[in-house]
Amino acid sequence: MGALRGWRRVGAAFLCGVLATAAFPPVYAIPALIPAFVGLLWLLDGARGPRGAFGLGWVFGFGHMASGVYWVGLAFLVEAERFGAVAPVAVVGLAALLAVFPALAIAAVHAARWRGPARVALLAAAWLGAEWLRSWALTGFPWNLLGNVWAVSAAPMQLAAVTGVWGLSALTVLAAGAPAVLGEVPAGGAQGRARQIFVAAMVLLPALAWLGGAARLAGAPAPGADPVPGVRLRLVQASIPQKLKWRGDLRLDHVRRQLALTVGPGFERITHVIWPETAVPFLLNREPEIRRLVARAVPPGGLLLTGAPRGIGRETLTQVWNSLFVLDARGEIVAGYDKYHLVPFGEYVPLRGVIDFGKLTQGRMDFSTGPGPRTLNLPGLPPVSPLICYEAIFPGRMVAPGPRPGWLLNVTNDGWFGTSSGPYQHFASARLLAVERACPWPARPIRASRPCSTGMGGSWAASA
């Protein structure tokens, strides 16, 4: 492949990037990572100088990112008459920007001019560094970190309790790129045999992680067991189309629909109810009548946790937040959380004084930034760290300092993206974050006095 030139070389790099995306949810074609990364390394052999290496990495990254975040464009089609023309520009522009990070990693590997196992190890380190940088640069967008492919099962994810998702990403690159060394030397001889041993060892790494995770899970409660005695949650998913969500003549109907779902069969056994992000399409803190209506969803002695916007201002609205409210049976606000990691162009417009562009979410006013992560201590529940929407994709950064919370709650509205791969990938990130913030290795059985999670449902997500 290193001998390819022109459009064939560009096409091969692009296809390798697309192939790598097939390993992510919902496809989980994890073996596809081997030809993707082996092909990338073999193409790197034919790179002409630093610019050629950077360009190769960028084309690979563009294919990888465009096929991984195509669903972003669907959000612009909810109001196609206003934003539809922007959809392809948004996808191409975002993918082009994100492709810079793989390009930097590939350029670093080329600059070192290492060969054999050392080059594969350097690729893993450089890729890991690029992913970390992507999680911070320009507010960060750590979507589809390579370690997320192991959300295919609860067992291999457990390594994240020790290394975070970063360790899983590094392991994945090592295993996927290792076979490339077999094409560098003849199969016979001591050097050839040493490289065969290296490849076998690297390819076995995921299997070892899987076995270790399975051993950890053996000490955890069985799926479906009650990890916190006395707590029974009801997660309500009304499946309201995003196009209809904020229509003035339908907003009350949406609330009543969620109420009907909440008080359905078995409600008498429920202790706490969870509704999704912006499930109540009203400024809940300014609407006492709506709060009294919504309070019908609160179980006796329990609480309702629901997403809704929060606004302040005496006569006119001066600030608004994307918030989570905790309501009791009287409709009183017991606690709350304001989202602080906002979506650019979705919830606010960066450089609004320069960029003349309306945000995708309801209203003309930008959402304000909340004060930061919180752990809520609520009656009848273990301490909980709430997350709203894509806050769940940021490894290790979205939980308040101090004692570890008993559980994470991610409320989200992924109705913007339909049945695309976006919601599946979002859920994978939330599950990995639950493992990362859960009990230290090895796992211990979940007990009421020490609530924790090994990640099998440990991130409870309510989706609209």
Tell me the catalytic residues.
277, 339, 389
Tokens of 62: 């563009």
Task: State the helix-helix crossing angle for 87-98 and 49-69, rounded to 10 degrees.
Answer: 140
Sort 87 into a burial class: Cβ within 10 Å, 0-12 / 13-18 / 19+: middle
Distance CA 439, CA 453 (A): 6
- What would the two tokens of residue 37 be? 């990364």
Q: In terms of Cα–Cα distance, which of 293, 282, 343 is closest to 317?
A: 282
**Block residue for tokens 């005695």:** 229
Region of 187 please: left (phi>0), alpha (psi -120 to 50) or beta. alpha
What are the backbone dihedrals phi and psi of residue 363, each rounded to the nearest 5 degrees, phi first?
90, 160
Bridge partners (DSSP) of residue 409 are: 386, 460
